[in-house]
Structure 1
């Protein structure tokens, strides 16, 4: 366990207004109760941590429980909120936008909600995107569609200019929906707000289909991603099995973490190889991938390969590091590379290769039912936290409970698959591939 994690959430000040929510303060009346500040949830639930705290007298590390507070920081009748969506598309963004607008309007009576178009660009007046006035009527149907109603962009803007925009437009709270780069950006905005001693809450709602946000259980959109990928893998298997020595290669998203590829393979167990960024594999040699594939074809006459986009980057010679606008390293196309290497290796062995890259179809799909539920609950909890005057936090689940966590803690590193975990072992059991391919 990492005992250096600090889970204290910053606050704009003492809440002085009573919440308009008609909730309970006692148990047993069949009405949901307000969350108290003392309501905490233990982060590490292991017996090892329990015994450590018991023997040392240390207080276990705890997270703030998410939910509505009895006292709120902002006067609902005088509050303006803004929503921005940044980075790549992901299933569920529109669900979150809708949920935030509905919660602000119907729960707290906040009448002015501003949509910031095209990511952080929309907070730079020099670019001139303007604002979109959001209302329940305007957003009531957007959850039925993929993509983002507000538009998105990659890359940051001048933090000082963005805070100027918030201040000049009397925005009291900013909800930023995005991944690692977006969360770091909204934290930087929060730092600048602190330096100016302004009272603006900034909230992150973690969005990435790669599921690579550290510490949290799951980012929204991830479950839909491997759900949408599953029938593609089924059809890829049909293609492979329909040809003598048929091979289907399916490339899925996963820049630094292979959660989509691994989960999709478990959900549709027709996959024979899963290659992810976390694993070091080789192509050549007796136990290299190409010979392991040959042995598979000798036995079964077909193979389905799922490869995450960030896998096998060590195989590219003289690789130049190029970054996108968000600061992410642009990877070489491992899918086409594998296809080419398999064709070369099997020049004396008849194979039929189908290469499939459904990445952009998957990320722009609408959320499935499970993700839709998750998105709505994330949106509601984000609004409750902002209204209480909390700032520079993300809302998510940890140990299957909704909590608030400091942005700075969840962005210290990317979450990756532990190759010694039961999860990865399940993938290996499903595919039948060896523990090591090198």
Structure 2
């Protein structure tokens, strides 16, 4: 089958020459432009024994030789939404430096407190972001422009941006943020206003489609690994010690799986993608009982979204972003494990650790800092070239343009037949199935 090119919305013809210098003109600052004919395939493994399927070709991200906007006459805005994540300030900084220093954009504004800052009724005026304002913000966690959850009326947000004279908006956030950005993009197209809306994918959960690694994930796994090591130390120090660590991961268990592999000291990793049982011959309690009889200690890592079917919830509350508020599987497991062993007259010492926000309010580590810079610069390139309604994806270590509609129509999950989960099973030795 013929490969399918993934189309990205364009605001119009690119009639302005890029101010970025060519390699031939300035060997000290090489900058090779990306050709419009260059694409990155989604699938790189081909099985010749099977029927070939049509492959998706994503537009390669990067600077274009001609651009849509006249940089000197363009204003840009940046907004951060959702929960905190290591690297937010890095992205803000790199966007400001790319737009102002490389392209010559005269004004870059920071929208305060997420999408709420795009509704004037809330009374949060934007911040002016100059080079000096962002010079050292990458050294601290959080976001200097603030964040929030919850949507706003796209028509209201667009009118506010038009009044500010903004032609480019960079939305830094997860799938909820990018769904809001997609609505804003659609409203701008409906009204005929040439607004470039470009998303930078952000989530410690690493669950955005067509993004092999979102920024913040690596830093979160680093911190989680250290906490698992502490839980292991605690568990080994007492008779029948159980180190129980609850990590972030509502719908996808990437943090739990990654930290488990990094630590090498986890015996059971429980993630939302796999159902598990507590009772029965193959249930967690029976398997844990056998482990303690042999080794006298164990470490369990559980993602916050795991085991929700075990918890009895009479009503389901939702947060401002529309996400269901899950029951606390960590507290539940602690209680059930303790009760099970006490009922048998056995000693049990559960050491429960819930780091929660402690793994996301950090400054980015080295790998995440590099990724943040790459994502931000390519977002600036995409917007200047008049691309809109897209996020910067990360496929096979290459930056690509992914339409927001594709990126937000589902969540990336840990594949139970994939290499990551197979690695977890190999390291932990846990059952492949609990049921």
Q: TM-score, normalised by structure 1?
A: 0.95
Residue 215 of structure 1: how far off its partner (Å): 2.1
Distance verdict in 2 for CA 1:29–1:106, change over 3 Å: closer
Residue 25 of structure 1: how far off its partner (Å): 7.6
The reply on whether 1:366 has 2:363 as its aligned counterpart is yes
The reply on whether 1:321 has 2:316 as its aligned counterpart is yes
Q: Who is 1:354 aligned against?
A: 351
- SS of equivalent residue, structure 2 residue 155: helix
Q: Who is 2:127 aligned against?
A: 132
Deviation per CA, 1:106-125: give whole Å up to 9, x if none.
11011200000100000000
8 Å CA contact retained: 1:246, 1:353: yes
The reply on whether 1:198 has 2:198 as its aligned counterpart is no
Q: Matches of 1:74 and 1:30 in 2, distance apart?
A: 23
Unpaired runs of 5+ residues, structure 2, are none
8 Å CA contact retained: 2:210, 2:394: no
Q: Who is 1:46 aligned against?
A: 45
Q: Who is 2:331 aligned against?
A: 336
Q: CA RMSD in A?
A: 2.0
The reply on whether 1:176 has 2:171 as its aligned counterpart is yes
Determine which of 227, 235, 257 is the counterpart of 2:252: 257
Q: Matches of 2:100 and 2:240 in 1, distance apart?
A: 59
- SS of equivalent residue, structure 1 residue 163: helix
Deviation per CA, 1:353-412: give whole Å up to 9, x if none.
111011201010110000000000110000000000000111121111111111100111
The reply on whether 1:382 has 2:379 as its aligned counterpart is yes
Q: Who is 1:428 aligned against?
A: 425
Q: Who is 1:302 aligned against?
A: 297
8 Å CA contact retained: 2:21, 2:30: no
Q: Matches of 2:4 and 2:403 in 1, distance apart?
A: 10
Distance verdict in 2 for CA 1:5–1:230, change over 3 Å: farther
- SS of equivalent residue, structure 1 residue 386: helix
Distance verdict in 2 for CA 1:4–1:38, change over 3 Å: closer
8 Å CA contact retained: 1:24, 1:34: no
- SS of equivalent residue, structure 2 residue 432: coil
Determine which of 213, 222, 226 is the counterpart of 1:231: 226
Residue 50 of structure 1: how far off its partner (Å): 11
Distance verdict in 2 for CA 1:146–1:260, change over 3 Å: same
8 Å CA contact retained: 2:425, 2:431: yes
- SS of equivalent residue, structure 1 residue 48: coil
Q: Matches of 1:303 and 1:258 in 2, distance apart?
A: 20
Q: Who is 1:34 aligned against?
A: 33
Distance verdict in 2 for CA 1:399–1:275, change over 3 Å: same
The reply on whether 1:12 has 2:6 as its aligned counterpart is no
Residue 85 of structure 1: how far off its partner (Å): 0.1
Q: TM-score, normalised by structure 2?
A: 0.96
